[in-house]
Every structure is written in C-alpha cells, then in structure tokens.
Amino acid sequence: MATIPPSRSPIKPLLALSLLWLAIGTQASAGSGDPWADLPAQVDTLLPGVIELRHAIHRHPELGNREFKTAERIARRLRELGFEVQTGVAHTGVVGVLKGGQPGPVVAIRAELDALPLTEQTGLAYASTLRAKDEGNDLRSRGKDVGVMHACGHDAHMAMAIGVAEVLAAHRDALPGTLKLIFQPAEEGPPLGEQGGAALMIKQGVLQAPAPEVIFGIHVTAGTAGTFTLSKARTTASADTFVARITGRQTHAAFPWTGIDPVPVAAQIILAWQTIPSRQSNLSVLPAPVISVGRLEGGDRHNIIPAEIRLEGSIRTISDEQREDVLKRMSNTAQSIAQASGATATVEYLPGGYRSGYNDTALAERMLPVLQQVSGTPVKIDNGTYGADDFAEYARQIPGLFMRMGVTPPALQDKPVWPTHSPGFQVDDPSLATGIKALSLMTLRYMRGEGQ
C-alpha cells in the first residue's frame, strides 16, 4: 500500500484502555466460561513469539510471486496450529482454514506475503541485506539487482495474522465459526507479464469453499503506535501507471523551425493534465483525482532538439467512473495538444492497475467499538486515502473492512517521518499485540453475532 501521512494522536492512556476493556468486554464473556474472556492477556503472552516471527520474516523478504520461503514458513506454522492448509494459490499464496467446534459463519483475514525492491536503511539488528532481480514494471529498475525490504509492513501483517491463528486455535472447540486466513502474494504488483495478487486469488476460488461472509485487513502505517484510522465508506484509491510518448522531429537547437520540438509540447501536456482535477472534475460529487508525473525523460545534448520525450506517472481516482473518465481525458488532452504542434502523443496505461476500495459501512459501525476498545484512544474516522491496495478486490465481492494502524516506534515519534515504502520504515513491535487483539475480537464479534 502506498504512503499515508502519519496521524498525530495523544499518547496511549493505558489506564483508560484497561477501564474500557472492563466496561465493554466481549458480550458473551461475562460468567459464561468464555475461553477468550482474557484474550488481551493471552495475546500479550504469545507476543514474544509473534515478534520473533516478524523479525525472521523481515530478515528474509521476497518480491511478488516469488515468496517461496515466506509461504513455506507460514504454511508450516498454520499446519502446526491445526489449520487445513492450501498452498500455491495464485503462485505462492497460502490459505489456512480453521473450522471451529461450534457452528457459525466463515470470517476471513487477509495478510500479504510480498516485500519491495528497496535497500533497507533502518540499521536494525534484523534488517534485510538480501538482494534480488527486479522483475516489476518500473521501466528504470527492471532487470536490475536491487535490495529487498519489507518496507510496506507486510511482515507485520503476516505476524499479526499468525497471532490471531494462535489465539483462536488455542480454544478451537469453542470457536463459533470458521476462520479463513488468506496470505496473498504480490500485493505490490506481480512481475511484468504475470498475473497475481488479490484478483488472481479470487479467480482461483479463495472466496469459495468455504465462502467467507466478511473479510478484515489491517495495514500498518507511520503514525502514533497502536492507534487506528477507519473510513466508513471509501478507503483506497485506484492506481494506474501511465507511460506517455511525445514524438516530434529531431533538429539543431538553433533552428527549431526545421523540426518539431516535443519539449514544449510535453510541458503543455503536463500542465493541461492538471486542469483535469481542477477544472474538469465535478468536485461537488467526488473528491478530485490525482495525476502525478513522476518521471520525465528525453534528449541527447544541450544543443539538439530531441525526437521524443517520455513521461511516466501515476493516476489516483476514487470510483470506476472517475477512473475511466480521467484516463480518457488524459489521452485526448495529450493527443490534441501534440496535434496542434504537428507532434504526436500516445498514452499507455500499464497492466496491473488497482481499483478503488470501499469499506462496508454497517460492518465498520459494528466493529468500531472493538477498535476503540483495543487501542484505548479514539479511532480517527476519515474519508480514505489516495493510497491503493488490492484488498479492494475482496471488498468488492464480500463486505470488507480495511483499517490503518499507526506503528511508529515511540522513540522515533518526534523524528522526521519514514513512511511505508521508504528505506527507513520501522514497525513498533508491541503494536502487533494491538493488531492481533483487534483482528481476533472483530472475528469473534462477527461469529457471535454481536452488535448487529
């Protein structure tokens, strides 16, 4: 998932947390012999093992569709815990099913397996030093030897999902439903020319047999450790990568009229694209799309007008209609401006884009007290992010809830922020407990039919 600005909330009041816990509890717990009545204490007990697992995964990151060892490690642990395990889903995906001893619904939790092509600079004892060949669709780095790092926190997501597996499997007989853990490859995108990620998992039947009624996912982010941000409707944006080529005719810089200069044409196109969000989008209906040119390339020498300029960038939109509209407008704008100068322009949208994602509003309302309870601070409600995540694909099939949890280690709280996707991104280990408690309690709340 892409970078999200950190939230700034007050320090976690521990006293308030425990009081809230006593006040809410799990509704079925009071005096009923509920084996999870002291779930927070159970999670705290298993936390050291979960932290150890995260560090081991962090030290051995793997890129999308190549998460062989990570998948093996996850599958082994799930089998030890008594899960029915399926491997090789959507290349390297692992699906674990734990059928509880009591009747009830199927609840899914999703975690991602993949890391990013980035050289780690955290200096941590368990930092990654691994390298791999970049096979992604970034035109500059493709084919190169790159550092690999869990810079999006997927190591934390896996560790939390295993934590949930441990705490719920410990009293399997009492579990009123079925837990389905989905460990998904290639969230950051598959290698060029390959399929992958959530869409491929769905295509291969991950939401069937057994079919989950709902799906939960937590994404860690820079921000106060253990605090949650939740949107009740739209959560993530679509993300599309484009490559535009503006072609003129090469000539001497002293005699531009003897050729066609693509440089001013590219400049006009870049500026005109910004009028799509600011002048052409109906801002009374939807927030604006985002169009960013991240790379601009062309030219051979200071006194030669080049034949071609290439632009690469990212487009973020928040509905399917807006996405289609913006892509069309970008192509039309580029072509028309180029034509006016006798140049040509093409805009190519690379495969593997992300669709926008939405939370189920009723599910969000129903689970909000759990998040409040485990974090002990008010949950920040917002209208989603321009970051993208293919969790959206599941939530387009069944009701889903995707939350963000702050994990900046307190010692780094007042230092310059290293967001996700940066080489200095770090995860506060004790916050994993908060995530495990949230996911376990939401699962139990749904299975028990509480808060409907």
Instruction: List residues near Zn ion by CB under 5 A.
Output: 1, 152
Q: How far is CA 450 from the centre of its chain?
A: 28
Q: How far is the CB of 451 from Zn ion (least distance, A)?
A: 28
List all residues 6 or more positions away from 221 whose beta carbon is below 8 Å from its beta carbon: 1, 4, 6, 153, 229, 404, 405, 406, 407, 419, 420
Q: How far is the CB of 115 from Zn ion (least distance, A)?
A: 9
- 40/191 with CB nearer Zn ion: 191
Render the burial of 375-384: b for 16+ CB within 10 Å, e for the rest: bbbebbeeeb
Q: How far is the CB of 219 from Zn ion (least distance, A)?
A: 6
- 152/225 with CB nearer Zn ion: 152
Q: How far is the CB of 435 from Zn ion (least distance, A)?
A: 14
DSSP 120: -
DSSP, collapsed to helix, strand or coil, labels residue 266 as: helix
- 78/156 with CB nearer Zn ion: 156
The CA–CA distances, whole Å, from 125 to 56, 121, 129 equal 11, 11, 11
- 158/337 with CB nearer Zn ion: 158
Q: How far is the CB of 388 from Zn ion (least distance, A)?
A: 9
Q: How far is the CB of 389 from Zn ion (least distance, A)?
A: 6
- Determine the Cα–Cα distance for residues 103 and 91; give it in Å rounded to an integer: 32
Neighbouring CB atoms inside 10 A of 84's CB total 14
Give me the count of residues in the chain: 452
Q: How far is the CB of 118 from Zn ion (least distance, A)?
A: 10
Which position's Cβ is nearest Zn ion?
152
Contact 186, 114 (CB under 8 A): yes
- 1/269 with CB nearer Zn ion: 1
Q: How far is the CB of 192 from Zn ion (least distance, A)?
A: 18
- Percentage helix, strand, coil for the chain under 3-state DSSP, each rounded to 5: 35, 25, 40
Work out the burial of residue 55: count CB atoms within 10 Å of its CB; fewer than 13 is exposed, 13-18 middle, 19 or more buried. Answer: middle
- 1/108 with CB nearer Zn ion: 1
- 152/246 with CB nearer Zn ion: 152
DSSP secondary structure of 147-177: EEE--SSHHHHHHHHHHHHHHHHTTGGG--S
- 1/326 with CB nearer Zn ion: 1
- Determine the Cα–Cα distance for residues 269 and 115; give it in Å rounded to an integer: 34
Residue 341 is which amino acid? S
- 115/169 with CB nearer Zn ion: 115
Helix (H) or strand (E) run with residue 65 in it:
none
